[in-house]
């Protein structure tokens, strides 16, 4: 028995060490190199800087007429707008798909889940957006992010809906509640655990999205936080010290959010795995 406990403890220690190597070392690497001058940072090693240059962070913030502040504003608007639509549409769709079991619902469910496997098509999407006159607009970008994340969102809501007893709805209908009022007053408040999970996971994904804003929201005024990395990457030379400083600035907010609400993420995803 003692030998088994020792092996378990050894496994836990090795797991912690492995986790530190995977996650902490890259963060330390970026932090150390963000405080070096350009020549030292371009060597890309873990050695301490000869001179700690904290002004690198100030230079990143003031670059291109404080473009990073505009980028944060755009990313926050994009993330908040997408989350609002995802929560409203995803919760209602998950509710209907879970409670109904007819042929039409099963077909819709299959189509929605197919969205988890089919990658987005760049050029056709741009063509459609241009036809709708929403290309290079924040509204169009919000719709793109919503379309990409809606299958996963519906899947989580649908799974969590299994934990809500049908008897609650039946009691509400007996009391004269309409279907819409039932969802708003009874069902939706019970979805708080999975809604928290959806908010955090989708917020991190959308806020850190690099590729889609690059294709669907070009322009200096539309820049998002991830696209500010281009400020310090050139064709012939790069300022890795400023690049790493920029990465830290745009990563820390979502990292803090993830660490604070990590338990809610696990609880929300596990709750839908077991039918109540």
Tens of pLDDT, residues 107-145: 888 888 888 888 888 889 999 999 999 999 999 999 999
List pLDDT tens digits, range 214-250. Answer: 999 988 888 999 998 887 876 556 788 899 999 999 8
Has residue 1 been placed in a domain?
no
Has residue 36 been placed in a domain?
no
The sign one gets for the Cα dihedral 258, 120, 147, 108 is: negative
Q: What pLDDT does 3 receive?
A: 66
CA distances from 245 to 85, 93, 123, 139, 150 (A): 33, 41, 33, 30, 33
Distance, CA of 191 to CA of 194 (rounded, Å) = 6
Read off the tokens for 165. 């007893």
Query: For the whole prediction, is pTM greater than 0.85?
Result: no
Containing structural domain, residue 252: 65-271
Q: Provide the number of structural domains found in the chain.
A: 1
Has residue 183 been placed in a domain?
yes
Q: What pLDDT does 235 receive?
A: 56
Has residue 40 been placed in a domain?
no
Has residue 104 been placed in a domain?
yes
SS3 at position 233: strand
Question: Does the pLDDT value for residue 273 go beyond 60?
Answer: no
Has residue 276 been placed in a domain?
no
Q: What pLDDT does 71 receive?
A: 93
- As a whole number of angstroms, the longest Cα–Cα distance in the chain is 75
Has residue 7 been placed in a domain?
no
Has residue 222 been placed in a domain?
yes
């Amino acid at each position: 028995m003692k030998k088994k406990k020792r092996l378990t403890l050894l496994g836990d220690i090795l797991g912690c060490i492995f986790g530190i190597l995977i996650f902490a070392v890259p963060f330390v690497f970026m932090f150390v190199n963000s405080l070096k001058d350009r020549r030292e940072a371009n060597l890309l090693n873990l050695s301490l800087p000869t001179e700690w240059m904290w002004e690198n962070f100030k230079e990143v913030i003031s670059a291109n007429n404080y473009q990073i502040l505009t980028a944060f504003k755009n990313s926050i608007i994009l993330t908040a707008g997408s989350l609002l639509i995802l929560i409203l549409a995803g919760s209602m769709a998950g509710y209907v798909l879970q409670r109904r079991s007819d042929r039409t619902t099963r077909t819709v469910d299959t189509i929605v889940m197919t969205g988890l496997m089919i990658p987005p098509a760049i050029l056709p999407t741009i063509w459609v957006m241009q036809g709708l006159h929403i290309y290079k607009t924040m509204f169009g970008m919000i719709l793109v992010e919503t379309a990409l994340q809606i299958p996963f969102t519906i899947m989580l809501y649908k799974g969590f809906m299994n934990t809500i007893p049908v008897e609650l709805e039946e009691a509400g209908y007996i009391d004269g509640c309409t279907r819409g009022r039932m969802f708003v007053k009874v069902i939706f408040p019970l979805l708080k655990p999975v809604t928290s999970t959806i908010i955090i996971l989708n917020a991190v994904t959308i806020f850190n999205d690099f590729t889609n804003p690059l294709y669907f929201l070009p322009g200096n005024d539309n820049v998002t936080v991830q696209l500010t990395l281009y400020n310090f990457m050139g064709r012939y030379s790069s300022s890795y010290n400023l690049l790493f400083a920029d990465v830290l600035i745009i990563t820390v907010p979502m990292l803090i959010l993830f660490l604070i609400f990590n338990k809610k993420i696990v609880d929300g995803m596990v709750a839908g795995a077991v039918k109540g």
